[in-house]
Homo-oligomer: A and B are copies of this chain.
Amino acid sequence: MSLLEQHTLERPSSPEPFAGVGVRMTFARGEEIYAQDEEADLLYRVVSGTVRTTRFLSDGRRQIGDFYFQGDLFGVECGDTHRFAAEALTTCEILVFRPGSSIPGRDGDARIQAALWEATTQELERSREHLMLLGCHTALERVGVFLFALARRRGHGELAMGRQDMADYLGLTIETVSRMLSQLQADGVVQFFGARRYRIMRQDRLEAWADA
């Protein structure tokens, strides 16, 4: 595996089900962790940093599948290739391991199986939430709910991604994202400090959009 040779290798030291499992690797900002259509025989866990998964259409349109933060597992596929590529959004430490016999239904480490199951159903849930956003919501709602969900998931209001990544996640253009951010701020729903730090001011409204 040539990837393994290009990167810093360290013995893993993370706690919990992943102690002693896999290899820790460091990826620079913008670097590819795995490519679209690459063989999917490994699993990945974010030790630090932020990861995005992306898929390109041949004409250049891009969709972001999801963002992954500290502790998240990613790289789970149905078939034998990755439908989305994974890239380091910031400098990342990633724990890479072979699922091998840990796929549910076979025998293997039960704690890893359980973690994998948990990660997969959570991802399915986020994917469905993402679907609601794209299928039923206006541009303003998409941006607002995105900020809200992210703040809730991370515990703070700091965007690890730029406008283009938000746009490609939300099925909008950067201009529209920017306009909606301005409008949300003008409406007093959020307050921004610079382009990437923000604070939710009217949680009630955003919750109503996300839907109770």
**With A105-B114, A114-B105, A121-B120: A136-B77 Cβ-Cβ less than 8 Å:** no
Q: How far is the CA of A26 from the CA of B128 in the complex (A)?
A: 27
Q: How far is the CA of A36 from the CA of B164 in the complex (A)?
A: 34
Binding site for B on A (CB under 8 A): 55, 57-58, 61-63, 65, 76-79, 83-84, 103-106, 110-111, 113-118, 120-125, 127-132, 134-136, 168-171, 208, 211-212
Q: How far is the CA of A61 from the CA of B135 in the complex (A)?
A: 9
A-B pairs with the 8 shortest C-beta distances? A104-B104, A105-B114, A135-B171, A78-B125, A134-B134, A78-B121, A105-B113, A104-B117
**In the complex, chain B residues whose CB is within 8 Å of the CB of A78:** 121-122, 124-125
Copies held by the complex: 2
The answer to whether A103 and B77 touch across the interface, beta carbons within 8 angstroms, is no
The answer to whether B105 and A117 touch across the interface, beta carbons within 8 angstroms, is yes
Other A-B pairs beyond A65-B131, A136-B171, 18, CB < 8 Å: A58-B208, A63-B131, A63-B135, A63-B136, A77-B125, A105-B111, A105-B114, A105-B115, A106-B110, A106-B114, A117-B117, A120-B121, A124-B127, A127-B128, A127-B131, A134-B135, A135-B169, A135-B170
The answer to whether B105 and A110 touch across the interface, beta carbons within 8 angstroms, is yes
